[in-house]
């Protein structure tokens, strides 16, 4: 069974293919031909093939979406936001999961390049250097939730970290400036609020339990704690659940004197609760916990978890908007507000 092509429509309507194409893409045509073409197209149930169009225009429509892990419900929400925007624009979304691994990310970018998908929204893992080839190839990239870390060859990491903090000077690679648009949660404000809340409860030895891509949050954490930053209380896990658990458990064991933890993601929060339970640390009596990201189960946990809520779906939606409108407007970065939701996982310092 052959697919009906634009040629079939043209023949059936007694016009040339060019006319059909024009009518269907909103070009100019006389009212009567337009009507006839539309009628015939509808009757033949004609759907233009994206293949032909893509080849002609040398670009695939739609956008790529690169996420670290769909198991993490925050990224699930982000994805739903992107999909919602894409759907209303009628554009397809090709999805890739990087597992927070720069190599896989690079591979996926390569795949998108091969597919001529020239619009990407990504939660980046790799260096600014990693992303440079994509940009040079003409991709429109919008980062979400994070910025790519400065390239390792950068002269002053802390410098660019601090600059990145405001979210408007996104990414500087060694010398070369990327300056790509991004949609981020306001980590500076979020972390500051959380830390101030904990300090108000009397906590002094506050730990940060972080994951990949938490450079901005950690910088904000340091800033909020100035000048009493205890580097040993800043701990990192890799992307996986196991690694998160190991990091949390290790933290509690190596520093039994800590009284509060800020977990930089919901998997990390989960790990902290689990590790604390395993070590017979009571929340919030022995240790207070604030978790990044408000997930539905935070309320079901016992005690219910105090969280920093981020608008995951909005982040996705806005990012998709940016990447779609990039042709017309030059996109500017967006900073979305966070909110501290106080539940029951923080108490006064013992």
Partner DNA sequence: GTTTACCTTGGATACGTTTTCATGCATCTC
Partner DNA sequence: GAGATGCATGAAAACGTATCCAAGGTAAAC
Is the link from the previous residue into 15 a cis peptide, with omega within 30 of 0?
no
Q: For residue 236, list its beta bridge partners.
A: 210
> Is residue 43 a contact point for DNA (CB under 7 A)?
no
The 8-class DSSP code of residue 60 comes to B
With CB under 8 A as the contact rule, the residue among 38, 94, 218, 326 that binds its own copies is 94
- Min separation Cβ 83 and its own copies, Å: 5
Write the burial class of residue 131 (CB in 10 Å: 0-12 exposed, 13-18 middle, 19+ buried).
buried
Q: What is the SS3 assignment for 148?
A: coil
Interaction between residue 5 and DNA (CB under 7 A): yes
**Contact between 15 and DNA (CB under 7 A)?**
yes
Contact at 8 Å (CB) between 39 and 69?
no
Contact call for residues 264 and 210 (beta carbons, < 8 A):
yes
CA atoms within 13 A on the CB side of 303: 20
Q: What is residue 64's three-state secondary structure?
A: strand
Angle among Cα 239, 244, 249 to the nearest 5 degrees reads 160
Nearest CB to DNA, comparing residues 61 and 304: 61
Give the residue carrying structure tokens 């800590």.
258
Scanning residues 57 to 86, which ones bind DNA (CB under 7 A)? 57-58
Told to check if 332 binds DNA by CB under 7 A, we report no
Which of DNA, its own copies, none sits in contact with 73, Cβ below 5 to 8 A by type?
its own copies
Size of the site for its own copies (CB under 8 A): 58
Using CB under 8 A, pick the residue from 51, 226, 227, 228 that binds its own copies: 51
Q: Does 87 bind its own copies (CB under 8 A)?
A: yes
201 binds, among its own copies, DNA, none (CB under 5 to 8 A by kind): none
**Residue selected from 38, 44, 89, 113 as contacting its own copies according to rule CB under 8 A:** 113
**Could you identify the residue written with the tokens 């893992």?**
125
94 binds, among its own copies, DNA, none (CB under 5 to 8 A by kind): its own copies
**Three-state secondary structure call for residue 141:** strand
- The residue among 183, 93, 79, 176 whose CA lies nearest residue 135 is 176
Contact set with its own copies (CB under 8 A): 1, 3, 47-52, 54-55, 58, 60, 62, 65, 69-73, 75-77, 79-80, 83-84, 87, 90, 92-97, 104, 107-108, 110-116, 136, 138, 241, 267, 270, 273-274, 295-297, 299-302
Where does this chain bind DNA (CB under 7 A)?
A: 2-3, 5-7, 14-19, 21-22, 24-25, 28-30, 32-34, 46, 48-49, 51-53, 55-58
């Amino acid at each position: 069974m052959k697919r009906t092509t634009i040629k079939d429509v043209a023949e059936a309507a007694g016009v040339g293919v060019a006319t059909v194409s024009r009518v269907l893409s909103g070009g100019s045509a006389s009212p009567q031909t337009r009507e006839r073409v539309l009628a015939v197209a509808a009757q033949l149930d004609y759907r233009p093939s994206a293949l032909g169009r893509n080849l002609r225009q040398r670009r695939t429509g739609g956008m790529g979406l690169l996420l670290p892990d769909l198991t993490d419900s925050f990224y699930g929400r982000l994805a739903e936001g992107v999909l919602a925007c894409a759907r209303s624009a009628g554009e397809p979304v090709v999805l890739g999961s990087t597992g927070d691994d720069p190599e896989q990310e690079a591979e996926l970018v390569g795949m998108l390049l091969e597919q001529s998908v020239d619009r990407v929204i990504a939660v980046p893992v790799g260096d600014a250097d990693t992303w440079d080839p994509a940009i040079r190839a003409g991709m429109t990239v919008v980062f979400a939730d994070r910025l790519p870390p400065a390239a390792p060859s950068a002269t002053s990491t802390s410098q660019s970290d601090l600059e990145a903090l405001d979210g408007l000077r996104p990414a500087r690679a060694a010398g070369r400036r990327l300056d790509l648009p991004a949609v981020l949660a306001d980590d500076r404000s979020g972390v500051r609020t959380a830390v101030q809340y904990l300090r108000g409860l009397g906590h002094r030895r506050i730990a940060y339990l972080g994951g990949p891509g938490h450079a901005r949050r950690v910088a904000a954490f340091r800033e909020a704690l100035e000048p009493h930053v205890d580097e040993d209380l800043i701990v990192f896990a890799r992307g996986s659940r196991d690694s998160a658990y190991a990091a949390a458990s290790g933290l509690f064991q190596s520093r039994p004197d800590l009284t509060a933890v800020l977990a930089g993601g919901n998997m990390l929060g989960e790990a902290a609760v689990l590790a604390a339970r395993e070590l017979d640390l009571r929340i919030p009596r022995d240790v207070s916990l604030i978790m990044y990201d408000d997930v539905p189960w935070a309320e079901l946990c016992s005690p219910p978890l105090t969280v920093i809520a981020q608008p995951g779906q909005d982040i996705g939606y806005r990012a998709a908007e940016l990447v779609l409108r990039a042709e017309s407007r030059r996109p500017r970065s967006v900073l979305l507000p966070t909110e501290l939701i106080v539940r029951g996982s923080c108490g006064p310092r013992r």
